[in-house]
């Protein structure tokens, strides 16, 4: 009974149901095999393809925790790939480590600046986050196309390919990057007061200001980190296919990232955030996508399933909905006993 | 000081006296005129009567959708589903007309009804389950776009007689200038929206709800009905916009109007409607749409790549949000 009240219960249950239901369509779903020293299997695919989403979603978690939202991540991903491939394509030796590292640094640096731009609009100028980041969402893809001159840039660089498509220790390199970002975010925010301060700002900006918390810098930091994460994810996607497509890289990623955060139990109004929840959320979305591909449904119909997942997760998280369902379910039973009031207390932090 | 007092009057019941509320709209109007003059002096053949008419012809569907979006934004909400609903409308129309052989007078009401139903459902979820409009309409967008792909992943041309008549036939305005029926539909939508917003109880409720939800609630205004109504209107307008688009393109495609919601939001914002709700004008949104259309025209005339359109719209959006921030700085004491 009490296990169903754990905040990760529903997200985890959803993920498990999705994973297990795959066995009915693909009996070999959970099989793993070694080939040429690389580990292969559906599970590995899910984690590898979910890595960019996880990274973007980790950045998004902090932004949402401050009570904001970052709609520009998809466009920033496109810009990141464009900047990196544009630099690599101009190199004499495309495989030169220094050249690739410079390209990566340029892309990440530029995306961090874009995050700073979002942060300044929100924290300093005081524009609503949806709108402030909408500007870059609208213009960003144009900027990416500007950089690539409207073309799809293709590069031939094994060193660059490593980021999104390479292997290390038998596992896709992208997995290590994603875990590194997740662990970095968890350690830096949970082993210091930073996470608590961010939650405080997201929970009640005015109260935290009165308590002496400098909300401006924290909000700025969240957007900068989100920009950096989007940049890294954009590198992964473009590296995986060794090209940059300004029109399609990261399309709808902002929505998937927000969805991952919401599935993970972080409320959109800000306040408490759950990085492990975001991890589960990102894996859930990727599993859903993979499942649909394996079953052979048109990949574009994924959107339909995502719609139902968003509705379901939002309804489960909505106190108003739970109150109504709860009341209806318990109305027939005669005495409003003690557990009823207890449940109401549990409901609050969701 | 008198302007500060004027500023607090509820919009919609105020007279035509000058107040700060008009600053963003006037700025947009000035921008439109300046852009037009710039085009006229810079490019030969820019300033023709048909050029102006084309601005309306090419953007009639966006105009209708922006009108619906204005209602939603005035209440302080947002509707991300409009582009997908418009695309769904073109798909449903194309399938029913071509595959099922339904007649256009039956198909059009069905399409409009689907839009209204989707909008009403989103409004109900937003109000009764207290979930943010942003996330609900996002789910609505996924749903509508997903349904498009379920119907078909290919685009289908529409050969129906009535559709091609309405789509291709033109109305002469004299002097060789012609417009299409879609322009008339769009202008009618604008006129009706203007009347509803400024002369009906629903309109007053929309402004009141956007101005201060708490006060509206305490005043006993029908919050539930108003919220559901604005999303229904937005859904209706999105479906109508989809129909106009299918007149224009004479086809239905699941990839129609990706990102159209952003254009609609941009048009409303550039048109001077406050994103926090409570203040704005439907005519402002029309001017906003014309500004976006004119950007497109100038970029075509200047022989620039199409991606400069998006960058310019982004810059304009930035400028106007900043302007809102400066003009209405006293009104929103956030941060």
CB contact under 8 A, B269 and A131: yes
User: Which of B234, B313, B190 is closest to B74 using CA atoms?
Assistant: B234
Q: How far apart are CA B6 and CA A69, in angstroms?
A: 34
pLDDT at A162 over 70: yes
**Contact, B91 vs B148, CB < 8 A?**
yes
Report the range out of B32-36, B49-53, B238-242 with the highest average pLDDT. Answer: B238-242
Give the closest of B146, B153, B308 to A307, CB-based.
B146
**Whole-number pLDDT of residue A327:** 66
pLDDT greater at residue A66 or residue A200: A66
Nearest chain B residue to A147, by CA: B307
Chain B positions touching A315 (Cβ under 8 A) are 125, 129, 131
Q: Choose from B146, B152, B223 for mutation: most chain A CBs within 10 A.
A: B146
On the 0-12 / 13-18 / 19+ scale of CB atoms within 10 A, A345 is: exposed
pLDDT greater at residue B330 or residue B39: B39
CB contact under 8 A, B150 and A298: yes
pLDDT at A36 over 90: no
CB contact under 8 A, A142 and B309: yes
pLDDT greater at residue B118 or residue A159: B118
Q: Choose from B84, B130, B131, B253 for mutation: most chain A CBs within 10 A.
A: B131
Q: Which of these ranges, A226-235, A256-265, B3-12, B307-316, has the smallest mean pLDDT?
A: B3-12
Give the closest of A131, A132, A262 to B135, CB-based.
A262
Chain B positions touching A125 (Cβ under 8 A) are 322, 325
pLDDT in tens, B77-136: 999 999 999 999 999 999 998 888 888 888 999 999 999 999 999 999 999 888 888 888
CB contact under 8 A, A142 and B325: no
User: Which parts of B258-306 fold into alpha helices (H)?
Assistant: 260-270, 282-301
The mean of the pLDDT values for chain B is 85
CB contact under 8 A, A138 and B136: no
Q: How far apart are CA A324 and CA A309, in angstroms?
A: 20
pLDDT in tens, B204-216: 999 989 888 888 8
On the 0-12 / 13-18 / 19+ scale of CB atoms within 10 A, A167 is: middle
Give the pLDDT mean for A278-288: 90
Chain B positions touching A136 (Cβ under 8 A) are 314
CB contact under 8 A, B132 and A315: no
Give the closest of B130, B141, B318 to A320, CB-based.
B130
pLDDT at A254 over 80: yes
DSSP-assigned beta bridge partners for residue B143: none
Nearest chain B residue to A315, by CA: B129
CB contact under 8 A, B321 and A127: yes
Residue A52 backbone dihedrals phi, psi, to 5 degrees: -60, -40
Report the range out of A164-173, A184-193, B136-145, B232-241 with the highest average pLDDT. Answer: B232-241
**Whole-number pLDDT of residue A62:** 92
CB contact under 8 A, A131 and B325: no
Distance from CA of A318 to the nearest CA of B (A): 6
> B190 is written with which tokens?
């604008």
Q: What is the DSSP letter of A174?
A: H
CB contact under 8 A, A142 and B150: no
Distances (CA, A) of A266 to A9, A74, A81, A257, A277: 14, 20, 29, 12, 8
pLDDT at A342 over 70: no
pLDDT at B10 over 60: no
Residues 6+ apart with CB under 8 A from A138: B262, B266, B310, B313, B314, B317
End-to-end Cα distance, chain A: 17
User: Which of B156, B146, B115 is closest to B249 using CA atoms?
Assistant: B156
CB contact under 8 A, B78 and A258: no
The dihedral built from the CA positions of residue B183, B185, B189 and B194, taken in this order, carries a sign that is positive
Look at residue A268 and give its three-state secondary structure. coil
Widest CA span in chain B:
64
CB contact under 8 A, B131 and A314: yes
Q: How confident is the model at residue A91 (pLDDT cuts 50, 70, 90)?
A: confident
**Whole-number pLDDT of residue A5:** 67
Chain B positions touching A74 (Cβ under 8 A) are none
Q: How far apart are CA B25 and CA B188, in angstroms?
A: 21
Give the closest of B139, B262, B269 to A307, CB-based.
B139
Give the pLDDT mean for A219-231: 93
Q: Choose from B134, B278, B310 for mutation: most chain A CBs within 10 A.
A: B310
Residues 6+ apart with CB under 8 A from A215: A66, A123, A201, A205, A208, A209, B335
pLDDT greater at residue A335 or residue B179: B179
Nearest chain B residue to A146, by CA: B307
**Whole-number pLDDT of residue A155:** 82
> A199 is written with which tokens?
């939650």
Give the closest of A134, A139, A145 to B315, CB-based.
A139
Q: Choose from B260, B308, B314 for mutation: most chain A CBs within 10 A.
A: B314
**Whole-number pLDDT of residue B328:** 67
pLDDT at A334 over 80: no
The count of CB pairs under 8 A between chains A and B is: 131
Q: How confident is the model at residue A349 (pLDDT cuts 50, 70, 90)?
A: very low
**Contact, B277 vs B76, CB < 8 A?**
yes
**Whole-number pLDDT of residue A2:** 64
Q: Choose from A121, A204, A311 for mutation: most chain B CBs within 10 A.
A: A311
**Whole-number pLDDT of residue B61:** 93
Distance from CA of A74 to the nearest CA of B (A): 13
Q: How confident is the model at residue A118 (pLDDT cuts 50, 70, 90)?
A: very high
Q: How confident is the model at residue A333 (pLDDT cuts 50, 70, 90)?
A: very low
Distance from CA of A201 to the nearest CA of B (A): 11
pLDDT at A344 over 70: no
Q: What is the ipTM of this complex?
A: 0.76
CB contact under 8 A, B135 and A314: yes
């Amino acid at each position: 009974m009490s296990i169903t009240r754990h905040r990760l219960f529903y997200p985890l249950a959803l993920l498990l149901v999705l994973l297990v239901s795959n066995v009915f369509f693909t009996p070999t779903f959970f099989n793993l095999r070694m080939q040429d020293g690389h580990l292969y299997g559906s599970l590995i695919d899910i984690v590898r393809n979910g890595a960019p989403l996880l990274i973007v979603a980790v950045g998004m978690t902090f932004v949402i925790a401050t009570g904001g939202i970052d709609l520009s991540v998809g466009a920033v991903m496109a810009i990141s790939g464009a900047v990196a491939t544009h630099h690599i394509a101009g190199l004499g030796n495309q495989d030169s480590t220094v050249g690739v590292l410079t390209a990566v640094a340029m892309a990440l640096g530029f995306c961090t600046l874009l995050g700073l731009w979002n942060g300044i609009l929100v924290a300093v100028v005081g524009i609503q986050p949806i709108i402030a980041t909408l500007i870059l969402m609208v213009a960003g893809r144009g900027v990416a196309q500007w950089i690539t001159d409207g073309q799809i840039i293709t590069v031939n660089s094994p060193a660059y390919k490593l980021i999104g498509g390479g292997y290390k220790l038998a596992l896709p390199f992208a997995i290590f990057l994603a875990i590194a970002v997740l662990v970095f975010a968890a350690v830096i925010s949970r082993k210091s007061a930073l996470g608590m301060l961010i939650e405080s700002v997201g929970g009640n900006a005015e109260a935290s200001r009165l308590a002496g918390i400098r909300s401006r810098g924290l909000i700025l930091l969240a957007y900068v980190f989100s920009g950096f994460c989007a940049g890294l994810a954009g590198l992964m996607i473009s590296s995986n296919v060794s090209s940059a497509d300004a029109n399609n890289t990261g399309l709808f990623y902002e929505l998937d990232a927000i969805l991952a955060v919401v599935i993970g139990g972080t409320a959109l109004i800000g306040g408490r955030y759950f990085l492990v929840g975001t991890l589960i959320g990102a894996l859930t979305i990727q599993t859903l996508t993979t499942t649909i591909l394996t079953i052979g449904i048109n990949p574009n119909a994924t959107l339909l399933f995502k719609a139902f997942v968003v509705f379901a997760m939002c309804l489960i998280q909505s106190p108003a909905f739970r109150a109504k369902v709860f009341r209806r379910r318990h109305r027939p039973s005669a005495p409003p006993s003690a557990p009823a009031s207890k449940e109401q207390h549990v409901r609050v932090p969701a | 000081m008198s302007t500060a007092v004027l500023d607090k009057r509820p919009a919609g019941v105020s007279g035509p006296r000058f107040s700060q509320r008009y600053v963003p709209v006037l700025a947009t109007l000035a921008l439109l005129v300046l852009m037009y003059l710039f085009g006229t002096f810079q490019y030969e053949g820019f300033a023709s009567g048909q050029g102006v008419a084309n601005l309306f012809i090419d953007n009639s569907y966006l105009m209708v959708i922006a009108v619906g979006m204005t209602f939603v934004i005035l209440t302080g909400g947002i509707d991300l589903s409009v582009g997908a609903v418009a695309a769904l409308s073109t798909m449903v129309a194309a399938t029913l007309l071509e595959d099922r052989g339904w007649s256009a007078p039956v198909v059009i009401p069905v399409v409009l009804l689907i839009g209204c139903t989707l909008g009403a459902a989103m409004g109900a979820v937003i109000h009764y389950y207290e979930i943010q409009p942003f996330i609900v309409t996002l789910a609505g967008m996924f749903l509508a776009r997903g349904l498009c792909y379920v119907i078909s992943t290919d685009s289908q041309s529409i050969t129906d007689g009535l559709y091609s008549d309405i789509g291709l036939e033109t109305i002469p305005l004299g002097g060789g200038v012609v417009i299409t029926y879609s322009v008339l539909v769009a202008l009618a939508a604008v006129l009706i929206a203007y009347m509803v917003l400024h002369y009906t109880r629903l309109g007053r409720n929309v402004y009141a709800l956007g101005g201060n939800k708490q006060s509206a609630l305490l005043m006993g205004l029908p919050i539930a009905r108003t919220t559901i109504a604005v999303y229904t209107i937005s859904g209706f307008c999105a479906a109508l916009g989809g129909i106009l688009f299918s007149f224009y393109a004479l086809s239905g495609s699941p990839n129609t109007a990706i990102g159209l919601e952003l254009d609609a939001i941009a048009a409303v914002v550039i048109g001077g409607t406050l994103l926090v709700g409570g203040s704005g004008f439907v005519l402002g949104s029309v001017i906003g749409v014309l500004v976006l259309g004119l950007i497109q025209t100038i970029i075509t005339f200047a022989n620039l790549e199409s991606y400069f359109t998006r960058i310019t719209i982004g810059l304009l959006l930035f400028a106007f949000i900043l302007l809102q921030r400066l003009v209405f700085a006293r009104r929103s004491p956030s941060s």
